[in-house]
Amino acid sequence: MAKRQLNRRQNWRIEKIQGERAARAAKRESSAVEALEGGDLGPEQHGLVIAHFGVQVEVEARDGELAGQVFRCHLRANLPALVTGDQVVWRAGNQGIGVIVAQLPRNTELCRPDSRGQLKPVAANVDMIVIVFAPLPEPHANLIDRYLVAAEHAGIKPLLLLNKFDLIDENNAPALNALLAVYRTLGYPVLEVSAHHGNGMEQLQAQLDGRISVFVGQSGVGKSSLVNSLLPDVETRVGPLSELSGQGTHTTTTARLFHFPGGGELIDSPGIREFGLGHVSRADVEAGFIEFNDLLGTCRFRDCKHDREPGCALLKALEDGRVQQQRMNSYRSIIASLPENGY
């Protein structure tokens, strides 16, 4: 059944109603903050945002007598949008409710466009992106490369993680080995684990300890199973692989931060099927393909599109085997998906 098209007046009315609802929610939140600040608030202290729920966040106290305790906090109206991983200054109130009074500068910011194309941060202060894929659903180099471009653009270290490696058989082994070989040749760290059987999990834990990490990857690759294996005391619902599509069903609904015993943290974010890169430019994408670094700027033509132009350094490197066809295909696909003004 075709989706019903709304006329301009209906769209205007929907936007008006949504705006009024948002304004009422903001007014209620502002009143709650004023009531809290009018009462007895504790001293300012540092905290870590570990989850986000609409207009409120959960903050873990980082110092003082309250260190390690978690509080639901309101936000002052003049603060920017906060995300999991943000370092903040907050004040404790009565009945376990607090107020966030300041956001500390972010070291890194992981962003992606939302459904309307607006750039939106999804996690802060992350220093490793774990790109999870599995034999099923079949991994696609293009999606992995999109994550790598995002990691390079954000200045965050990537780790490629093949989960469910016990599902490798004689049918899918050649393609998987070829896929992994490309990234190992480029110098990217690659781990093969099985969250179900426990193989390779100690090596993964060693990589995670002492870092703030985020797991990304399409649904069905076992991100929730990995969290359950790494943090057995945490209940993260595991979704089955859809028999019809071969893709996973989304189970994690909000980004949440967990602590590892070794001192590192994990931000478990909702599964996504495709990572949008509409916010990056062509130059950003080129910089995200690390094997291009020594080649860029050496083409015969300054505005070379690396397509069919004579004297193209990338095409020559492709011909010589210094650039893999798989990576060039991903590069062209990502470039083609960018808005025209980003090209």
Which whole number is the average pLDDT over 11-21?
A: 69
Identify which has the larger pLDDT, 298 or 81: 298
Q: What is the pLDDT of residue 246?
A: 44
User: What local confidence, expressed as pLDDT, does residue 111 receive?
Assistant: 79
What is the percent of the chain where pLDDT is above 70? 79
Is 70 exceeded by the pLDDT of residue 250? no
Answer yes or no: is pLDDT of 37 > 90: no
Average of pLDDT values for 227-255? Answer: 56
- What is the 3-class SS of the chain, one letter each residue? CCCCCCCHHHHHHHHHHHHHHHHHHHHHHHHHHHHHHHCCCCCCEEEEEEEEECCEEEEEECCCCCCCCEEEEEECCCCCCCCCCCEEEEEECHHHEEEEEEECCCCCEEEEECCCCCEEEEEECCCEEEEEECCCCCCCHHHHHHHHHHHHHHCCEEEEEECCHHHCCCCCHHHHHHHHHHHHHHCCCEEECCCCCCCCHHHHHHHHCCCEEEEECCCCCCHHHHHHHHCCCCCCCCCCECCCCCCECCCCCCCEEEECCCCCEEEECCCCCCCCCCCCCHHHHHHHCHHHCCCCCCCCCCCCCCCCCCCCHHHHHHHHCCCCHHHHHHHHHHHHHCCHHHC
Q: Which of 28-37, 182-191, 252-261, 309-318 has the lowest mean pLDDT?
A: 28-37
Higher pLDDT, 315 or 97: 315
Whole-number average pLDDT of the chain: 82
Q: Which of the listed ranges 17-26, 94-103, 222-231, 292-301 does the model predict with the highest average pLDDT?
A: 292-301
- Average the pLDDT over each of 25-29, 47-51, 107-111, 295-299 and give the range with the smallest value: 25-29
pLDDT of residue 26 exceeding 60:
no
Residue 141 Cα distances to 32, 166, 281, 333, angstroms: 48, 20, 20, 11
Task: Note the pLDDT of residue 315.
Answer: 96
Stretch 166-188: mean pLDDT, rounded? 93
Rounded to whole angstroms, how far apart are CA atoms 116 and 262? 39
- The structure tokens listed for 327 are 């990576």
Does pLDDT of 314 surpass 90?
A: yes
pLDDT for residue 32 is more than 80 = no
Angle 247-189-236 (CA atoms, 0-180°, nearest 5)?
40
The pTM assigned to this predicted structure is 0.77
Give the pLDDT of residue 241: 36
Q: Which of 63-72, 103-112, 177-186 has maximum average pLDDT?
A: 177-186
Q: What is the pLDDT of residue 25?
A: 56
**188 or 250, which is more confident:** 188
Nearest to 279, CA basis, from 119, 40, 89, 154: 119
CA diameter of the chain: 72
All domains of the chain, ordered by start, with CATH? Answer: 41-104 (2.40.50.140), 109-268 (3.40.50.300), 282-342 (1.10.40.50)
pLDDT band at 254 (very low <50, low <70, confident <90, very high): low
What pLDDT is attached to residue 40?
73
Beta carbons within 8 Å of 71's beta carbon, 6+ residues apart = 47, 58, 59, 60, 61, 90, 92, 96, 97, 98
Burial profile 57-68: b = 16 or more Cβ within 10 angstroms, e = fewer: bbbbbeeeebee
Return the CA Rg of the chain.
23
* The most confident of 52-56, 103-107, 244-248, by mean pLDDT: 103-107
| Of 308 and 247, more confident | 308
Distances (CA, A) of 270 to 68, 239, 252, 265, 328: 25, 12, 5, 16, 29
Residue 11 in tokens: 């769209």
Q: What's the pLDDT tens digit per position in 256-270?
A: 898 987 668 998 766
- Which of 39-43, 149-153, 305-309 is predicted with the least confidence, judged by mean pLDDT? 39-43
pLDDT at residue 50 tops 60: yes
